[in-house]
Chain A
Amino acid sequence: MGFRAAVITFPGSNCDRDMAVALEAVSGQPAIRVWHGDADLPDRLDLIALPGGFSYGDYLRSGAMAAMSPIMRAVVAAAERGVPVLGVCNGFQVLTEARLLPGALMRNAGQRFICRTVKLTVENTDSLFTAGFTAGEALHIPVAHHDGNYFADSETLDRLEAEGRIAFRYAEPVNGSARDIAGVLSENGRVLGMMPHPERAIEPAAVTALGGADGRRLFENILSALASA
């Protein structure tokens, strides 16, 4: 049976199509597009992807309104059943606002919108998203955000470190994030939130103008983890 991934679109999402294209490029299966106002998700999902963008115009706080939308109740319930969830950029903000991941994404320390390819260090290689990477490996993946400054209290940060739940760090400071955190996993390792955009880095590495191909490997990791599950 084919890989079934759903991409949620909120009003103001703008990376939903890129996410769907990346998922289809890697899996050969078209992603199912789901609207934020839907109350239910398709059944038998292998992955739920929350894309980047500016859902609800970032009103109140980035991701805050989207976290309250009808489909997020279904996403939270699915995550609790163990369905893998990937939130990228605004999707990461939505996951923290929905309390599926700890912490919060605040305004970048330098106040500026940052849009460039950054170097990441792989910290976790145990999750379905990261099992194909090598610990300490460098990845190059683009970021494009204004609110990517990860914050959590020091107890939470210590716990994340101790439990191996920091998926990626920035190799050098980018946006003021606590402990240079770029991506965080849930306690069961099946929910990943990350500010960098893997779906923008799926073309062969030679085409560096299009972000390289390190992001593609994240999607390939998901597929191999599911295939061997």
Chain B
Amino acid sequence: MKVRVLVRLKPGVLDPQGRAVHHALEGLGFAGVEDVRVGRLIELDVADDTDPAALTEMCEKLLANTVIENFTIETGEGGK
């Protein structure tokens, strides 16, 4: 089973990378970009009977740092 974990900085946590990318986009002449936040996509291939709770635990223990990041887990069709 394919699983996609999206890790994003929590709202309110400043994202220096996103800000630099934002500036670069403006430098390239793209107008109207309001904000840029850089996150991380982690694709896992796990056994079909993997317990969703185990996926959550993987995120909390390692894949995301919940001090600064939120995560969402997509499985099945969304996870493709």
Chain A interface (Cβ within 8 Å of chain B)? 60-61, 64, 68, 96-97, 102-104, 106-111, 149, 151-153, 176
Contacts and interface: CB of A to CB of B under 8 A. Distances in A.
B46 interface: no
Contacts of B20: 111
B68 A107 contact: no
B16 A64 contact: no
A66 B68 CA distance: 18
B53 to A, nearest CB: 19
Contacts of A110: 16
B13 interface: yes
Interface in B18-64: 20, 61-63
A149 B16 contact: yes
B67 to A, nearest CB: 4
A109 B62 contact: no
B67 A152 contact: yes
Given A60-B62, A176-B14, 4 more contacts: A68-B62, A104-B68, A106-B14, A107-B17
B72 interface: no
Contacts of B14: 106, 109, 151, 176
Interface of B: 13-14, 16-17, 20, 61-63, 65, 67-68
18 contacts: A60-B62, A64-B62, A64-B65, A68-B61, A96-B67, A97-B65, A104-B67, A106-B13, A106-B68, A107-B16, A107-B17, A109-B14, A109-B16, A111-B17, A151-B13, A151-B68, A152-B67, A176-B14
Contact of A61 (B16, B61, B65): B65
A110 B14 CA distance: 12
Nearest 6 CB-CB pairings of A with B = A104-B67, A104-B68, A107-B16, A109-B16, A111-B20, A111-B16
Contacts of B67: 96, 102-104, 151-153
B16 A104 contact: no
A52 B67 CA distance: 22
A104 B7 CA distance: 15
A106 B16 contact: yes
Contacts of B17: 107, 111
A102 B16 CA distance: 21
Contacts of A151: 13-14, 67-68
A60 B20 CA distance: 20
A111 B24 CA distance: 13
Nearest to A99: B67
B62 A176 contact: no
A52 B38 CA distance: 26
A153 B9 CA distance: 13
Contacts of B16: 106-111, 149, 176
